[in-house]
Structure 1
């Protein structure tokens, strides 16, 4: 029974993750306005309170060299990357993934908002150019 529940949970997670990867970048640009006070994307973007998010999808945790990450993020993220699944979990409630992290954002409760903002961010290469 436990094995069946685990398989069902994994299948449900896979369906959710797939939905996150298929968001609407135009709608995500509007959602990103909630993030723009602390983060920047695009050509010429600079670190603010939070790091630049260019190339965030599949980037290793703590990879922006000129940004001072929290010790907690660096410990939790050792060897991890910001893939779609991890971004989705983080954007629900950042403190659940990195309890002592610096990010003071309540999160995005709506699945569509998270999927859309991830799709928006996925457009940006590491140098800020759009794909």
Structure 2
């Protein structure tokens, strides 16, 4: 089960991160969703009903990165980023060891995205 969580530091500046984690198979499916988004351009929901957060993925010609909008985490990325991110996620999914990868696009004020396998249990609740 693919899980998502919005992590943030309550310091005055407030660093934020969206953590996406699951099994290798979950991450392979995420890579497929990212690739499919390039042609379908249909909004996808990442994270199952047990996730602390859910992410709404939009592949768009006007990417804005990961942002919090009216309580919804929206990840709007360019088609080229979707393809690059799919390859990076595939690398995490096929790793023989616990690892993670940051998926950053060129949005200046977007929330950082971290994809992880083997580092967090399914029941992790930040």
TM-score of the superposed pair, with normalisation by structure 1: 0.29
* Higher relative contact order (Cα pairs below 8 Å, separated by 6+ residues): 1
Larger Rg: 1
Greater share of strand residues, 1 or 2? Answer: 2
What TM-score results when the alignment is normalised by the length of structure 2? 0.29
